[in-house]
């Protein structure tokens, strides 16, 4: 809710791993009633409810829940050493935090099936060719590049950024007709903001806009 923050960047500690997944030792002893009654992993979905744009800067391993966490973000940037996988099948389970639902939307059915059913890892370049990540950077430059992109996004009009994210996410859930109607209503709504007036005035006056997020 901090009004001074326009974009978030999520990354791992160091370059070895973004997130290597859940604690297998902790999960091993769980039984069905406990998993079901606690609605295991449901809390992860809260990340997708954050209205501000989120960038995942993935260095190293993004396995299982780590891959799912990255897919909950709006933009995925990868270091050259990044590895992605949904290896739950090797543990006798399946992805439980969105892997079977989001991966297919990112890379298509056949490739999603292959990753989920084999548990095999893909490297950064493969992930880029599949459309899972937007860009690949040298490992040591990734976080700086992600922060740079975040600052660029944060410099735009806040209302437009929030509405753009909401419209893109809605497109994943509704028909094209409904999505187009929703987009138009968001577009119309922006004409009630000061930033719309400032942005268009700045364009016509050939200067940089001074957005106030109003």
Provide the annotated active-site residues. Answer: 22, 65, 68, 88
CA distance 190 to 28: 50
Q: Go through 67-84 and write b for each residue having 16 or more CB atoms within 10 A of its CB, e for each that does not.
A: bbbbbbbbbbbbbebbbb
CA distance 1 to 61: 30
CA distance 195 to 155: 12
CB 7 within 8 A of CB 154: yes
Q: Go through 163-186 and write b for each residue having 16 or more CB atoms within 10 A of its CB, e for each that does not.
A: bbbebeeeeeeeeeeebeebbeeb
Closest to 115 (Cα-Cα) out of 63, 61, 48: 63
Q: For residue 18, which phi and psi values (nearest 5 degrees)? A: -80, -55
Closest to 142 (Cα-Cα) out of 20, 15, 8: 15
Neighbouring CB atoms inside 10 A of 188's CB total 9
């Amino acid at each position: 809710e901090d009004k001074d923050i326009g974009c978030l960047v999520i990354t791992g500690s160091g370059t070895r791993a973004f997130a290597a997944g859940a604690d297998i030792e902790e999960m091993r002893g769980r039984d069905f009633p406990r998993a079901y009654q606690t609605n295991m992993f449901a809390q992860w979905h809260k990340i997708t409810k954050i209205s501000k744009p989120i960038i995942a800067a993935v260095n190293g391993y993004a396995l299982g829940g780590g891959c799912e966490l990255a897919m909950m973000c709006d933009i995925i940037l990868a270091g050259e050493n990044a590895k992605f996988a949904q290896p739950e099948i090797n543990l006798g389970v399946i992805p439980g935090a969105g892997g079977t639902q989001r991966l297919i939307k990112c890379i298509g059915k056949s490739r999603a099936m292959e990753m989920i059913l084999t548990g095999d890892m893909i490297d950064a370049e493969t992930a880029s060719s599949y459309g899972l990540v937007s860009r690949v950077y040298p490992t040591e430059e990734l976080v700086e590049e992600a922060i740079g992109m975040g600052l660029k996004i944060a410099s735009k009009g806040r209302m437009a950024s929030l509405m753009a994210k909401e419209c893109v996410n809605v497109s994943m859930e509704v028909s094209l007709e409904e999505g187009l109607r929703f987009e138009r209503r968001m577009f119309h709504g922006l004409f009630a903001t000061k930033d719309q007036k400032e942005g268009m005035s700045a364009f016509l006056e050939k200067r940089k806009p001074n957005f106030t997020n109003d």
